Each structure stands twice: as structure tokens, then as C-alpha cells.
């Protein structure tokens, strides 16, 4: 009987699961502050934050079910995990959520530095390298994914600090950092497709590491585009 659970050591699976869930909670934190800044009551703001967190929990549950049933463990082009998980989330975020009145209100209220600092959650990309260490991912994919995420995460805080302090080069630094972060994800998707055709990426089609392709590309691209929108809105207001 096929096994659709990662062959990584139990400590890696447990640590990854806890880190990933915390990352989603971390991403939703600025939403509450943005809602408060937009004039929502503390209770309303908390409910908005919990709604976003709850949506992602339901989405991960859906993806986990597909993975555990082996639906995504298929060597195909395009990868099943993107067809059934990554692309649908992309459509939901860009096609629906990003165009709602509530979201536009929150985007106006949230600070640019908060949007940038969110990307610290991408430190979870270290698990790509850990999986390589256990011979569960190929080196080209693991190091490209892991190092790109880690670099973006580590640079997020100094860039956010420049923005919060109103440094003269803050806007240029934000554009450069944001473009780097986006290109990292796009490059990773290209490598994933090329590597996946050889059947070398099974680990990210089974539980729990399937959460990476299901959640990260769509969410990260959405966050980067929102930073561009925020920059554009701020420039026009000034």
C-alpha cells in the first residue's frame, strides 16, 4: 500500500508543522492592526484576523486530504499540486480577495513596513535544505528554494526598518527587495517544473511538505504584488 506521508524523521515533520502553522498566524497578525487603523472595533478586527487564519486552515486541510489520498503524487506537467492547490489559491487571492472592498480598506490602512516584515515567515524555507540533508529533495531545487527564502526573510527586517524611519533610499530599497523576492519565487516555480518532470520532487506532493507548493507561491506572490500596490498608492497620495 502506498505511503503518502513524508519519510523525514518525526522531529522534522513535527517542527515543520508547528513552524508552518505559526507562520500563517504570523502573516495574519498585521491584519488585525490594519483593521483597527481602518476604524474597526477590537472585536471586529480580531474576527477579521481569525477569518483569514481559518480560511488558510481549511485550505491546508483540503490540500492535506488530497495529498494523503495520493491525488497529488503524480508525475505530470503541469504538476498536480499546482493544478489542484497552488493555482486555485492564486485565483482566490487575486481574483476575489484582492478586489473586495474590505481588503482595499485594509491595504490603505496597513503600514508598508508591516507588509515587508511579514516576509520573515519565509525563514521556514530552511526546511528545503533540511530535506536535502536527508536525501529527500535534489540539491538544485532545495538550495534555490531554501536560500532564496532565507535571504528574502533576513533582508525584510532592515528594509522595513528603513521604511519606518523614512530613510531617503527606503523606496528604492523596497523596490529592489520586492523584485528580488518575486523573482525568487518565479525562478523556484520554473526549477520545480523542470525538476518535477524527472519525478524528483515527490516530497512536496505528500504530507506535510505539500503545504509548501500549496500555500507559499500564491501567498508570497500576492504579498509582493500588494507591496507594489501599496507603494503606488502612497506615491500618488504624496
CB atoms within 10 A of CB 163: 22
Per-residue model confidence (pLDDT) at position 78? 80
Domain ranges of the chain: 10-237
In this prediction the pTM is 0.94
Question: pLDDT, tens digit, for every residue of 222-237?
Answer: 999 999 999 987 665 6
pLDDT tens per residue across span 198-218:
668 899 999 999 999 999 999
The confidence score (pLDDT) of residue 85 equals 92
| Average pLDDT per block of 10 residues along the chain, 238 residues long | 87 98 96 96 97 97 96 86 93 96 95 96 97 94 94 97 92 96 91 72 94 94 96 70
DSSP3 helix / strand / coil % (the chain, rounded to 5): 80, 0, 20
Instruction: Look up residue 84 and give its DSSP letter.
Output: I
What was the pLDDT predicted at 59?
97
Amino acid at each position: 500500500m502506498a505511503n503518502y506521508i513524508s519519510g523525514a524523521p518525526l522531529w522534522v515533520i513535527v517542527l515543520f508543522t508547528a513552524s508552518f502553522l505559526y507562520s500563517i498566524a504570523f502573516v495574519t497578525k498585521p491584519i488585525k492592526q490594519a483593521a483597527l487603523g481602518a476604524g474597526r472595533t477590537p472585536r471586529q478586527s480580531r474576527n477579521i484576523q481569525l477569518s483569514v487564519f481559518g480560511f488558510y486552515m481549511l485550505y491546508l486541510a483540503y490540500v492535506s486530504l488530497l495529498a494523503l489520498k495520493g491525488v497529488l503524487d503524480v508525475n505530470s506537467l503541469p504538476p498536480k499540486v499546482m493544478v489542484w492547490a497552488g493555482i486555485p489559491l492564486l485565483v482566490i487571492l487575486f481574483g476575489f480577495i484582492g478586489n473586495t472592498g474590505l481588503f482595499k480598506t485594509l491595504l490603505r490602512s496597513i503600514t508598508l513596513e508591516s507588509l515587508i516584515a511579514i516576509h520573515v515567515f519565509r525563514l521556514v524555507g530552511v526546511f528545503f535544505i533540511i530535506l536535502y540533508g536527508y536525501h529527500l529533495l535534489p540539491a538544485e531545487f532545495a538550495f534555490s528554494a531554501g536560500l532564496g527564502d532565507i535571504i528574502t526573510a533576513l533582508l525584510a527586517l532592515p528594509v522595513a526598518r528603513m521604511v519606518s524611519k523614512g530613510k531617503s533610499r527606503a523606496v528604492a530599497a523596497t523596490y529592489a527587495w520586492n523584485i528580488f523576492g518575486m523573482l525568487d519565487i518565479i525562478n523556484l516555480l520554473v526549477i520545480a517544473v523542470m525538476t518535477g518532470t524527472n519525478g524528483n520532487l515527490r516530497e512536496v506532493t505528500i504530507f506535510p511538505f505539500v503545504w509548501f507548493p500549496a500555500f507559499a507561491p500564491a501567498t508570497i506572490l500576492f504579498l509582493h504584488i500588494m507591496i507594489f500596490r501599496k507603494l503606488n498608492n502612497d506615491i500618488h497620495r504624496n
